[in-house]
Chain A
Amino acid sequence: MEINKNIAVSDNGFLFNPATGESYNLNETGTELLKLIKENTPFEEISKIFLNKYETTAISFEKDFQDFVEILEQYKLTEKGNR
């Protein structure tokens, strides 16, 4: 999955999609996760980073990752969602 190339994300979690003019808020973990996805980091790698940094479990994170990706597609912020 790829995030649309022209999407801009600020460090404090503000996202702007110039294609639609719509903007979004992300929380800290959301901002971090979106950046990793944008850099095409594989899921296994992302999971490792989150499990090392936060108090969560592999199952819980995988579920939340899946949910986050679904909503990115819903908002048409991914190449797939945009097709």
Chain B
Amino acid sequence: MTMNKLNYERPIINKIENTMPNKIGGRSGFKPITEIDGVRIKGMISNFGSPLFVISEATIRKTYQSAYRAFTTRYPKVQFAWSYKTNYLNAVCNTFHQEGSWAEVVSGFEYEKAINNGVDGRHIIFNGPDKTKADLQKAIANQSLIHIDHLDEYYMILNIAEETNLRPQVAIRVNMDTGIYPMWDRFGFNYENGQAWDVLNKIMMNKKMDLIGLHAHIGTYMMEAEPYKIAASKLSELAVSINKKYNHYIKYIDLGGGFASNNTLKGAYLPAEDTNPTIDDYAEAISSALLNSNIDPDHLPLLILETGRALIDDAGSLLGTVITNKRDSKGARNTVLDIGVNILFTSFWYNHKITPVQSFSHHIEDTKIYGPLCMNIDVIRESISLPPLNTGDNVIIHRVGAYNMTQWMQFITLRPAVVMISEKGDVNIIRESEKIEAITDYEKVPSHLKDFDL
């Protein structure tokens, strides 16, 4: 290869359509993305393989700090709790803990992860409908914040309190009508029909546990801030009434999570950046509802937020490689990547932005992006406008930090490595790429099935 050869772009011809503009919208950026936080993408792929998840520590910290500021400039007492299920890689959790986040967990497994990370039990919020007796015994002994989901759980906690003479620190999860559809009413106790009061009376009257908070989690990827205002108002009313009836101040109100990120949902006409509320919008709705309520200003409760998606999505990227380009039976362009839906679960909900890593011209073609699985549903984007990609070219899929590294499946292929770029620019592996032993070590073959002749 001589120095003066030109960059090769695959020859393409596109029909000019004079029809309705398509809702897939414009192209995916006008410049290649060659670096993340100053680290060359091609270098990371050659060092750690493809596909590769990359997490930016600087982006996590910046996002956290600006979200925290959005609340603390509006309300005096704010505490964030990192939602483990959104991304429970220890390095990610610890970054949030270093920033001051408590842990919010929804299973015994996640609880153990938080304890192993060094989080004090008093700073772990235990949510979820499936807490076993052993889980609750541990959480009660550690004085963790237990958010009661149903009456069976309440009676189990009562039973442990009587057996141990410990005072469980509890809150109840309240579900309510905030004007959104569908209403999330499968968790906790309903506000409108009196379930919430029923369990609150039980807790206050038997005096075996400390009611320290009220919790609501109204939905996920909430595209309006107003429902949070309604939720905060209803929880405030409840707090005021508890005080009136029992002369008891609750210590905190927890509004859960559910803030939308900048990923665009499938079927949306406009990019999420243009349509979704900002953290400031959510903060304004919640803070103003609390401050305008009848809560005694000398006893303002701590405001807890369990924001996950909105704090981590932007910090995660997924790097991949083009396996091949094909055409379907009608001549439409298909591109196959080494990234499948098994590691990019969120491609079922989002039109993820994809950008080439190498330089390209202004020409584009409409492409359907497939993953490498031998499964028809393995589609990453139904339609996207991209410059012509060659086999071996690399792409970056943006905003994959939330849920992918927890909901990913070992299916057909093994899961890839995850690296984190430190604020100094060091690239550290935070999860090794899986080896076959990670799967087969858990298998057992009965002795009569060990041998065969073919």
A residues touching B (Cβ–Cβ < 8 Å)?
15, 22-30, 32-34, 50, 52-56, 60, 63-65, 67-68, 70-72, 74-75
Contact = CB atoms under 8 A, between A and B. Distances in A.
**Is the contact region of chain B dominated by helix, strand, or loop, or is it mixed?**
loop
Given A27-B388, A53-B5, A64 B11 contact: yes
A27 B5 contact: no
Contacts of B391: 60, 63
A27 B327 contact: no
Contacts of A67: 10, 325, 327
B8 A56 contact: yes
Given A53-B5, A55-B8, A27 B363 contact: yes
Interface in B11-52: 11-16
B325 to A, nearest CB: 7
Contacts of A65: 11
A79 to B, nearest CB: 17
Given A70-B327, A70-B331, A71-B331, A33 B16 contact: no
Given A54-B6, A55-B5, A30 B13 contact: yes
Given A60-B390, A67-B325, A71-B327, A27 B7 contact: no
B361 interface: yes
B13 A26 contact: yes
Interface residues of B, number: 21
Nearest to B363: A27
A68 B390 CA distance: 14
A63 B392 CA distance: 14
B12 A26 contact: yes
A64 B388 CA distance: 11
Contact of A27 (B1, B12, B331, B390): B12
A3 to B, nearest CB: 11
Contacts of B388: 27
B327 A25 contact: no
Nearest to A29: B11
Identify the interface centre among B13, B361, B388, B391: most chain A CB within 10 Å of its CB.
Answer: B13
Contacts of A32: 11
Given A26-B14, A27-B9, A68-B11, 8 more contacts: A15-B13, A27-B11, A28-B361, A60-B390, A63-B391, A68-B12, A71-B331, A75-B13
Contacts of A33: 11
B165 to A, nearest CB: 75
Identify the interface centre among A29, A53, A68, A72: most chain B CB within 10 Å of its CB.
Answer: A29
13 contacts: A27-B9, A27-B388, A28-B9, A28-B361, A53-B6, A55-B1, A55-B5, A60-B390, A63-B391, A64-B10, A67-B10, A70-B327, A71-B13
A24 B390 contact: no
Contact of A29 (B10, B16, B325, B331): B10
Nearest to B14: A25
A24 B14 contact: yes
